[in-house]
């Protein structure tokens, strides 16, 4: 391959960044092809995917063909993904040797659990390499015996190891945002296990007299943390004489940073106010470095909407040079008003680059935040102040009725006003950057001070709660008990500060599925909150979830995570745009019949196992979770998860629409009849004899002995499914 002329900044003579060769490493089913597809679909950098399964005119080819194809693409200045398993060093070596310093050599290891890879491989159909079905399990198991994670001493500039799906998404975001002129920092990213040193190709031998505690040190290399250039230049087999070299991220605290208080902020004054990006990035990094350790476990996140944001690129590089802890400060591409629902990033505080009037309108971040938060933010802001001076910030607690609070978990908005260099805007500084830089520093100080005050308030609240709950139970003592108490206090604080988001994460986890759990919807699709997306994600991406018991092109079936009876299944529609029964039209009639047929099949199967059961199939008029789903529920209602009036009435009132009735109504009228949520507050009545009861325990006691036949209305038109006995 002909050499390209590269300048000292790692760019060619035309100013473009070096092409990148990314060697993907992972077992079948680890998601290599999906990784390539997701990046190439939106990236502004020209990529070529070299896949051995298709390189022979759409059919499987050879490693030699892959090497030839990669060389050709790189010579044209394109970046390439090497989509092969590449599980051992020998398989990767020829690709690393293929290019010299004129090409960046990266490795992305999708080191996902074997069980997940096998499950995906077995379930997939029409795979390019025809590795699917029953034979896949044995192949994946055999290949994983040879797994050898990459090391920097193989010749890579950058290695990313992904050990779960969140890591994978982070790596996808990183390469998606890599524009034609961008360059990623070198180093090793993402290894979470305590043997990260081994993966770096480094052995550590301690001196006879090591610093105190050195023998217990753990090198914690995060996906965002970069090795210093000095470390990179060391021979990878060098014997380390001190635990202080190379300097790595410190051992994490006992509280998960992922759930720590987090401030998401835009770059102040660089958009509408036209502040110089180089100067602004210097000030951002300067102020972050000043505050990041003062904030304890709290995180700072610089956000921009653009995939190829110049300010993000500048700040990333400068923060890496300063060795700022990338767990506590990092950059993120996304809509600042939808960081959790669209990006999975939990930020309980967001900053608004506002105007001096503290009013909605204009463009950019200010308009977006006021719009997303609703009119209540303007009201809450007015209660705090009527205007704002340049360089100042004001903290506004966000009322819980705001969509930003309920949907994204944002508890506070901090309005901040920076200096203006735009002659079209009020109070322009006429290019006076001495004054402008002074004001911008003051703006970031005010912003971070405001965030610090929120963090302190939360910590004090947690301390008060701890003292109240554990007074007399735990005492401050010397030795291990003081450490135990500290951990216990931190645990209480973490629970208190992040209770809302932990519930979100639980609902969005791999074992999803729920029905009405004391929460009611009644919202339009645009107002769906974060936690209610779980069923939608299951329907659209069933391969990510473990609790699927049946899957087809039209539906997926799973057990409800919080069953309200002995047997409670959900049949999910796999169609975009069908959030609830309200969205169903006549064109969906075939799908409704399919869902009913699948539900009926499962009811009959369960009846074969226990013919004493009776089943009902139906929909909630207003679901608590997004994505149309049919409930298949036994009528014993014997479940610890059935706890309140809403639970009961959601299945035993007109609010619950029988599947057969819905099909008839859609067939005749083009839509289903929906009942108001007010029905959920009606009195508790037995679904068999219709007797009234004062509370759930009394009702459950009655149900256990009630022998009355079901009402005639339920016995008609096949609304109940039971065994002929």
Active site residues: 629
Q: Which residue carries 């470095």 as its tokens?
A: 289
The CB-based long-range contact list for 463-467 (8 Å cut-off, 24+ gap) reads 463/489, 463/493, 465/492, 465/496, 466/492, 466/493
Dihedral Cα 569, 573, 576, 582, nearest 10 deg: -80
Q: Helix or strand or coil: residue 666?
A: helix
**Structure tokens of 1?**
């391959």
Consecutive H or E run containing 203: strand 203-204
Cβ–Cβ contacts within 10 Å for residue 72, how many?
14
237 within 8 A of 201, measured Cβ to Cβ: yes
Q: Are 314 and 322 in contact (CB under 8 A)?
A: no
CB 421 within 8 A of CB 432: no
Please name which of 680, 564, 674, 685 lies closest in space to residue 619, comparing C-alpha atoms: 674
Residues 594 and 555 sit within 8 Å (Cβ to Cβ): yes
Pairing label, strands 299-304, 104-110? unpaired
Residue 622: half-sphere exposure toward Cβ, Cα within 13 Å: 17
Q: Is-contact 461 492, C-beta < 8 A?
A: no
Contact residues for 135 (Cβ-Cβ < 8 A; gap 6+): none
Query: Which residues, other chains included, contact 650 with Cβ-Cβ below 8 Å and sequence gap of 6+?
Result: 515, 516, 620, 656, 680
Angle between helices 480-508 and 433-470 (to 10 degrees): 110
Report helix, strand or coil for 662: helix
Cα distance between residue 244 and residue 361, in whole Å: 52
| H or E element, residue 440 | helix 433-470
Half-sphere exposure of 722 (CA within 13 A, CB side): 14
Concatenate the DSSP letters of all residues of 269-323 into one string. Answer: TSSTT---HHHHHHHHHHHHHHHTTTTTT-EEEEEES-TT-HHHHHHHHHHHHTT
């Amino acid at each position: 391959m002909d050499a390209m002329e590269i300048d000292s900044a790692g760019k060619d003579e035309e100013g473009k960044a070096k092409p990148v060769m990314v060697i993907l490493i992972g077992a079948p089913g680890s998601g290599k092809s999906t990784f390539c597809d997701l990046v190439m679909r939106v990236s502004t950098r020209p990529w070529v995917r070299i896949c051995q399964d298709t390189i022979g005119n759409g059919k499987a080819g050879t490693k030699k063909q892959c090497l030839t194809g990669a060389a050709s693409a790189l010579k044209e200045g394109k970046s390439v993904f090497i989509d092969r398993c590449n599980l051992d060093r020998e398989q990767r070596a020829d690709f690393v040797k293929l290019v010299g310093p004129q090409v960046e050599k990266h490795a992305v290891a999708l080191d996902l659990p074997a069980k997940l890879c096998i499950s995906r491989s077995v379930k997939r159909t029409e795979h390019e390499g025809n590795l699917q079905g029953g034979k896949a399990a044995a192949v994946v198991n055999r290949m994983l015996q040879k797994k050898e994670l990459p090391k920097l001493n193989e010749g890579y500039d950058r290695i990313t190891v992904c050990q779960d799906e969140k890591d994978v998404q982070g790596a996808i975001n990183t390469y998606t945002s890599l524009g034609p002129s961008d360059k990623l920092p070198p180093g090793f990213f993402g290894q979470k296990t305590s043997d990260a040193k081994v993966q770096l190709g480094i052995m550590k031998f301690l001196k006879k007299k090591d610093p105190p505690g050195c023998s217990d040190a753990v090198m914690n290399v995060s996906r965002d943390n970069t090795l210093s250039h000095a470390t990179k230049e060391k021979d990878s087999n060098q014997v380390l004489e001190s635990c202080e070299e190379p300097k790595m991220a410190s051992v994490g605290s006992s509280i998960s940073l992922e759930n720590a208080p987090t401030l998401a902020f835009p770059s102040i004054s660089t958009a509408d106010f036209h502040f110089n990006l180089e100067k602004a990035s210097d000030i951002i990094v300067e102020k972050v470095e000043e505050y990041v350790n003062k904030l304890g476990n709290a995180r700072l996140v610089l956000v921009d909407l653009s995939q190829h944001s110049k300010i993000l690129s500048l700040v990333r590089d400068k923060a890496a040079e300063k060795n700022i802890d990338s767990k506590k400060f990092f950059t993120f591409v996304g809509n600042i008003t939808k960081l959790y629902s669209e990006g999975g990033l939990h930020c309980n505080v967001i900053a608004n680059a506002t105007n001096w009037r503290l009013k909605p309108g204009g463009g950019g971040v200010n308009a977006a935040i006021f719009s997303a938060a609703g009119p209540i933010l303007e009201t809450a802001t007015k209660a705090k102040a009527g205007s704002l001076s340049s360089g100042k910030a004001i903290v506004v607690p966000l009322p819980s009725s705001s969509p930003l609070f309920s949907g994204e978990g944002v508890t506070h908005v901090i309005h901040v006003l920076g200096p203006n260099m735009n002659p079209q805007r009020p109070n322009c500084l006429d290019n006076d950057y001495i004054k402008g830089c002074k004001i911008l520093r003051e703006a970031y100080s005010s912003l971070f001070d405001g965030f610090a005050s929120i963090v302190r308030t939360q910590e004090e609240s947690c301390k008060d709660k701890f003292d109240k709950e554990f007074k007399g139970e735990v005492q401050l003592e010397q030795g291990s008990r003081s450490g135990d108490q500290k951990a216990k206090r931190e645990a209480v604080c973490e629970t208190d500060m992040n209770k809302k988001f932990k519930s979100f994460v639980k609902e969005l986890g791999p074992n999803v599925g729920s029905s009405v759990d004391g929460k009611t919807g009644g919202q339009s699709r645009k107002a769906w909150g974060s936690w209610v997306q779980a069923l939608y994600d299951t329907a659209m991406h069933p391969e990510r979830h473990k609790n699927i018991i049946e899957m087809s092109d039209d539906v997926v079936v799973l057990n409800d995570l919080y069953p309200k009876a002995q047997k409670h299944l959900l049949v999910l529609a796999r169609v975009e745009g069908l959030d609830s029964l309200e969205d169903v039209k006549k064109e969906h009639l075939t799908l409704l019949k399919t869902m009913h047929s699948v539900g009926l099949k499962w009811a009959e199967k369960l009846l074969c196992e226990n013919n004493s059961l009776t089943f009902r199939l139906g929909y909630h008029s207003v679901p608590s979770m997004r994505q149309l789903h049919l409930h298949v529920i036994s009528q014993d209602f014997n479940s610890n998860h059935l706890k309140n009036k809403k639970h009961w009435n959601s299945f035993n009132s007109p609010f619950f629409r029988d599947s057969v009735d819905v099909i008839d109504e859609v067939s005749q009228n083009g839509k289903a009849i929906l009942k108001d949520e007010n029905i959920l507050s009606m009195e508790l009545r037995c679904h068999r004899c219709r007797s009234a009861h004062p509370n759930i325990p009394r009702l459950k006691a009655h149900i256990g002995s009630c022998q009355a036949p079901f009402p005639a209305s339920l016995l008609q038109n096949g609304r109940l499914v039971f065994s002929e006995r």
